[in-house]
């Protein structure tokens, strides 16, 4: 046989030895079936998974809804339709309604949404009630302070307000409290602090004392700036609350703000006297989201 014939025969099949004999291994023309079968298997698994995740266990969903209802103080069948209707929908094995977000029907999603909103309303109501109770406690403190200051004829020397920090007792630092550009409490100033101290001494709250100066350019005497003067005045009040009222030092803190937090603009006639002040703040122990309700609770009290 010619060389060309041998080459053609070699291209048609190959040989290998097995058991001492030469055998021919024909080319497998059905290998594509293996890849096809693998692809079909994967597709089947994919559709099985998609079908499985599109089903919702309605019985467990009913238990969730009833549990939420009981937690909110409603009967266990408070949701529309009750458990019976949910069990009926479970028998239908209806697929998940993607538009509703939680399963079965839009009414199910609406019921859960209503439950969440009810919980939020209940939580908001509790916060509002806690803020109202806190304001009532502040009213008792104000009454006690006013009673003490009335004995000294100084009841009009303090003003009250409530903000998100707590109760703010404002002492206007006129000439009867501090001399101009000075931080030593005068006799009347000491009487005012003595009237404030007993009302807040027994409280568990921390006490912050803030010093403020006015915006006028009249100088600050022996102090380099309003920062030092306002801080010194706040510290003088803190020191007296500690020594005379017996408030623990770890409950007290002092801060000076100079003229950075005025009550009135410099063009207002009240700025000269009312911006020059010391604020004794009874800091609230309530959570931040509840403290934010204190001003509104005070306005309605």
> Quick check: 87 pLDDT over 50?
no
C-alpha radius of gyration, the chain, whole number: 41
Side-chain half-sphere of 28: how many Cα atoms within 13 Å?
Answer: 5
pLDDT at 227: 94
Would you place residue 95 in the very low, low, confident or very high pLDDT band (cuts 50, 70, 90)?
A: very low
pLDDT at 61: 63
Distance separating alpha carbons of residues 197 and 148, to the nearest angstrom: 10
CA geometry: angle 87, 90, 95, nearest 5 deg: 150
Dig out the tokens for 133 from the structure.
């109770």
Q: Between residues 194 and 19, which one has the greater pLDDT?
A: 194
> Quick check: 124 pLDDT over 80?
yes
User: pLDDT tens digit string along 144-155?
Assistant: 999 999 998 887
The residue count of the chain comes to 301
User: pLDDT tens digit string along 9-54?
Assistant: 444 444 444 444 445 555 666 777 778 888 888 888 888 878 777 6
User: pLDDT tens digit string along 223-248?
Assistant: 999 999 999 999 999 999 999 999 99
Would you place residue 3 in the very low, low, confident or very high pLDDT band (cuts 50, 70, 90)?
A: very low
Alpha helices in 54-105 (DSSP H): 58-71, 82-91
């Amino acid at each position: 046989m010619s060389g060309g014939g041998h080459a053609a025969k070699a291209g048609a099949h190959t040989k290998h030895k097995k058991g001492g004999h030469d055998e021919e291994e024909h080319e497998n023309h059905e290998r594509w079936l293996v890849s096809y079968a693998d692809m079909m298997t994967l597709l089947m698994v994919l559709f099985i998974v998609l079908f499985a995740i599109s089903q919702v266990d309605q019985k467990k969903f009913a238990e969730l809804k009833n549990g939420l209802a009981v937690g909110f103080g409603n009967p266990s069948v408070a949701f529309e339709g009750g458990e019976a209707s949910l069990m009926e929908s479970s028998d239908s094995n209806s697929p998940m309604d993607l538009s509703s977000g939680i399963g079965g029907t839009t009414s199910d999603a609406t019921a859960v949404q209503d439950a969440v909103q009810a919980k939020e309303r209940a939580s908001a109501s509790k916060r509002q009630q806690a803020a109202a109770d806190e304001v009532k406690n502040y009213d008792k403190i104000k009454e006690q302070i006013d009673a003490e200051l009335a004995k000294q004829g100084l009841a009009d020397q303090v003003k009250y307000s409530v903000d998100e920090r707590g109760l703010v007792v404002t002492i206007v630092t006129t000439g009867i409290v501090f001399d101009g550009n000075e931080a030593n409490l005068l006799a009347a100033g000491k009487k005012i602090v003595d009237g404030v101290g007993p009302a807040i001494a027994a409280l568990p709250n921390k006490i912050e004392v803030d010093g403020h100066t006015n915006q006028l350019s009249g100088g600050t005497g022996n102090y380099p700036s309003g920062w030092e003067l306002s801080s010194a005045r706040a510290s003088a009040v803190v020191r007296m609350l500690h020594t005379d009222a017996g408030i623990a030092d770890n409950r007290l803190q002092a801060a000076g703000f100079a003229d950075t937090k005025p009550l009135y603009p410099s063009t207002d006639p009240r700025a000269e006297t009312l911006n020059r002040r010391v604020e004794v703040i009874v800091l609230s122990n309530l959570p931040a989201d509840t403290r934010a309700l204190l001003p509104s609770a005070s306005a309605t009290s």
